[in-house]
Structure 1
């Protein structure tokens, strides 16, 4: 006689194989179990459904239901919650709704996790109004919203650009007895930072500290990065020092964030100071750390030291990636060795890298070799706003305003986005050169082109 513990052991084995993504082995275990008289139960199939939805496809997960029917095993709420979550991952809203209907037909009442998943799916598809209706349905169905429910709602509002609404909801929930967790505060702080509301984010950070909760590395790093993006470097460095005092800099990510921000603003000495502090700690250097260190030396004009770091990196078993090559190539350009950078790009075999090619276009322009820059431009399979903007800016600098205006007009007609500063550069160049009529004509042609694109 097969005991109940045998099925439990079968489920443990299947869960282990599924977690390791060995689904075929999990299926083999089920077959072997049946041969030995150990029959699978609803937990067995729920585990398979979750694994297939995560690692294969929603259809593969849904097909497990047929096998459950053949084995006379009734699906439960966990079964459908796993399927709804699988449909949500692939943004299959219609399947989510169908599964809800199917649950009700089978007499399975959706629980709070069912609604949470559906709400998350609506937010993922940028349908916040529908997500809010689901939130209202939870209340109407007399279900008790969980911490995850509130966090899903606040996170969805922030990601859809409704940070103010998220804050209003947060205040309203607190007045009704909601006790926010650290995750809740991190969601709001992240949303505020992405909306460039640094002052409110810092105020929220203070409120977090006053609540008795302890900010973690995610909290501090989020605010610190926002400070750097807002060019408030001293505030960012203060937050970093506070992180160090609280012992949160256990990896190199925070250090690399600080060094990268300082390097971008040419504060090389300060960046070197923080990089030295990181190297002197027990933090092991990863790929991002090595790239940051190489970039620091390249920006400081120390290419030999950069290559020394590269050698050390490769001895540690790290292979240079596109970021490494782009940094080294840009370092050569900074030294004025544009031809050497071009040769390095060809030898490294990354002449399809957009960032690298954009760098080469810009550097050849600054080396008064615009015709050669155009050759690279014409050879590029893919271009972005920086490609066009860089070329337009440099054409204006050398007085080739007609060529710049033609390129600008072609971008507008094709619907290609370019930086506003590039547009201003063309008009300023035309006006300062005394070509007022050309500027007016270009303005009218751009207006006509924009109306045609719309």
Structure 2
């Protein structure tokens, strides 16, 4: 009965799970604490915390006492629904009922603190586990490392890792993967490589996730050759790639102009029987645009349609960018107007691309005209236009755009701000330069 209840709960068919319990009672098989704990976890996860908590009344009516697993599920449910105060209440209630918390109770509470960026409280929970009779498990350490990394404290995570490793902690593969990901996100690729080296020297083997993570961040930081080396190392070790890995590598090859190798990645992906999704097609569209093969792009759009997929805003934005690169500005503008009729939530990326490309092609007045028609703008819109106006030495217009950006509470790179101020002074517009500087200082204080 419990297996059936758990199976229905896993696939979110809670009514059928309840029906199984009713049938069980009719047949003389009474639910036990495991049955109800399964329901508590399912209701907390798929409905809400209150629905899970109501199961406790049914348990009492059946003469069954909740245990630590029951309350761990409730605390996890409160955490998942971002109810920090309820986590404390449930923890206190558990202790008042004489149910001693176990290591998983503390792990869940620690995860909740990290979720709400309460680092000191999370650290206190971590040390409470160590100072109590409970022994921290690998999940305790992984939760600590992951929480620190996700909240921008990868350095502290690495220090703690070194300390506890020297004091007997045996890291698992997931621990190394968490640290590598956190260090990469904080821009510490060198430290991430050292952790990868330690992993290779241990009795553990890096998996596809390890390589994909570090490879992705190598590409993002412009270290394409090193990223490609990790790709080939992963390939030589016989790891199975997923669509994300192939797309990441293909995109990297395309960015550095190695289009032939980019296409080979796609051919390999098709040979492996990996089904192309819209993300894969978007990268392929981008490769054709970079290579100036616009005729094949339209064939590809037809292929996307035949595959039952729908082009998204990035597909059309990539095509607009490709038309601009090829000098077909009128075609790009026409496609931008067509894109407005498709009903996307936002065409901001396409408009930003159009503004930037028009500026670079020397059509800055057209770019300003499109800028004026945009209902939604972001810091990229303003930064791109200000930067290009400065290149054209149109500092007064650039200062007006920059002021509009600051009034919207958005940020423009400080280097760009300095260029505008210096340009105004160079043009003899000292009064305008002082006004702009004053506005920039005020915006920094407010931010």
Same fold (TM over 0.5): yes
> Hey, what does 1:413 align to over in structure 2?
407
State the partner residue of 2:151.
160
Indicate if the aligned counterparts of 1:330 and 1:341 stay in contact, CA closer than 8 A. Answer: no
Task: Output the CA distance in 2 between the equivalents of 1:431 and 1:269.
Answer: 49
Shift of 1:255: 2.0
CA RMSD of aligned residues (A): 2.3
Residues 190 and 223, structure 1, Cα contact 8 Å, conserved in 2: yes
Q: Which moved more, 1:174-183 or 1:55-64?
A: 55-64
- Corresponding residue of 1:96: 87
State the partner residue of 2:36. 45
The aligned residue for residue 198 of structure 2 is 207
Structure 1 residues not aligned, in runs of 5+: 1-8
Question: What is the match of residue 227 of structure 1?
Answer: 218
Aligned-partner SS, 2:205: coil
What is the match of residue 326 of structure 1?
A: 317
Task: Tell me which residue corresponds to 2:395.
Answer: 401
Which residue matches 1:6? none
The one of 229, 249, 254 aligned to 2:245: 254
Residue deviations 1:273-307 (CA, integer Å, cap 9, x gap)? 44444445444333322221111112211122122
Of 132, 139, 162, the match for 1:141? 132
Aligned to 2:379: 385
Instruction: State TM-score, norm by structure 2.
Output: 0.92
How far 1:62 moved relative to its partner?
Answer: 1.5
**Partners in 2 of 1:351 and 1:379 — Cα distance?**
17
CA contact (8 A) 2:336 2:350 kept: no
User: Are positions 1:217 and 2:217 aligned together?
Assistant: no
Structure 2 partner of 1:59 = 50
The question of whether the paired residues in 2 share the 8 Å contact of 1:338 and 1:363 is answered with: no
The CA distance in 1 between the partners of 2:439 and 2:160, in whole Å, is 47
Q: Does 1:423 align with 2:417?
A: yes
What displacement does 1:250 show?
2.9
SS at match of 1:348: coil
Distance 2:21 2:369 in 1: 62
Is 1:284 paired with 2:275? Answer: yes
Is the contact made by 1:298 and 1:331 (CA closer than 8 Å) also made in structure 2? yes
Q: Would you say 1:193 and 2:187 are equivalent positions? A: no
Give per-residue Cα distances to partners, 1:102-137, cap 9 Å, x unaligned: 111111110010000001111111111111110111
Question: TM-score if structure 1 supplies the norm length?
Answer: 0.90
Alignment partners' CA distance in 2, 1:288 and 1:62: 41
In the alignment, the residues of structure 2 paired with residue 400 and residue 308 of structure 1 have an alpha-carbon distance, to the nearest angstrom, of: 41
Map of 2:332 onto structure 1: 338
Kept in 2: contact 1:351–1:357 (CA 8 A): no
Change (3 A) 1:362 1:12: same
Gaps of 5+ in 2: none
Distance 1:221 1:250, change over 3 A: closer
- Counterpart Cα distance in 2 of 1:82 and 1:380: 48
Alignment partner of 2:74: what SS? helix
Contact in 2 for aligned 1:352/1:380 (Cα 8 Å): no
Distance 1:266 1:405 in 2: 36
Partner of residue 441, structure 2? 447
Aligned equivalents of 2:379 and 2:272: distance in 1?
40
CA drift of 1:449 comes to 4.3
Q: 1:425 to 1:92 in 2, by over 3 A?
A: same
Q: Secondary structure at the match of 1:155?
A: helix
Shift of 1:443: 1.3
User: Which piece of structure 1 moves more, 104-113 or 286-295?
Assistant: 286-295
Q: 1:250 to 1:231 in 2, by over 3 A?
A: closer
